[in-house]
């Protein structure tokens, strides 16, 4: 019975964060899609959109993993891409590609996602399934 409860909790976590990462990627796509046509806007937009969509795609792939090791491996990519997305968001603010309000709205969600995925990764490393 306990195993079933644990599986349900995992499914709920996976479903919640599949949706959350997808919505995060969509919000970034929308925020960066209508910027003026300048080279710096294009470069930074491309990078932040690429890394944010990678977070969503790799988390989705992690939930489809065939083993604990595969899930952990994909989660490592999610953590890396989450941090990279935050970097590009910082760059976008500091180069005036986006305004402060847009930055704050998106950045806070990115920080929360990174914290959750980092803690999950750490827990999985400390308690590997055999």
Q: What would the pLDDT profile of 63-102 be if each residue is shown by its tens digit?
A: 998 898 999 999 999 999 999 999 999 999 999 999 999 9
| Percent of the chain residues topping a pLDDT of 90 | 81
- CB of 113 closer than 8 Å to CB of 55: yes
Report the distance separating Cα 126 and Cα 23, nearest Å. 30
- CB of 75 closer than 8 Å to CB of 62: yes
- The CATH class of the 2-126 domain is mainly alpha
Q: Check residue 31 and report its DSSP letter.
A: H
Q: What is the pLDDT of residue 7?
A: 56
Instruction: Give the number of other CB atoms < 10 A from CB of residue 54.
Output: 19
Poorest-pLDDT segment among 1-5, 45-49, 109-113: 1-5
Distance between terminal CA atoms of the chain?
A: 20
Q: What is the pLDDT of residue 11?
A: 66
Q: What is the pLDDT of residue 2?
A: 45
Residue extents of the structural domains in the chain: 2-126
């Amino acid at each position: 019975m306990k195993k079933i409860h644990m599986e349900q909790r995992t499914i709920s976590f996976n479903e919640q964060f599949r949706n959350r990462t997808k919505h995060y990627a969509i919000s970034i796509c929308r925020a960066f899609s209508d910027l003026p046509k300048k080279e710096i806007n294009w470069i930074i937009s491309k990078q932040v959109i690429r890394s944010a969509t990678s977070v969503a795609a790799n988390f989705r792939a992690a939930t489809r993993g065939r083993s604990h090791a595969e899930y952990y491996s994909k989660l490592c990519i999610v953590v890396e891409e989450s941090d990279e997305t935050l970097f590009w968001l910082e760059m976008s603010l500091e180069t005036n590609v986006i305004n402060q309000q847009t930055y704050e709205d998106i950045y806070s969600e990115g920080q929360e996602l990174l914290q959750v995925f980092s803690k999950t990764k750490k827990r999985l490393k400390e308690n590997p399934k055999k």
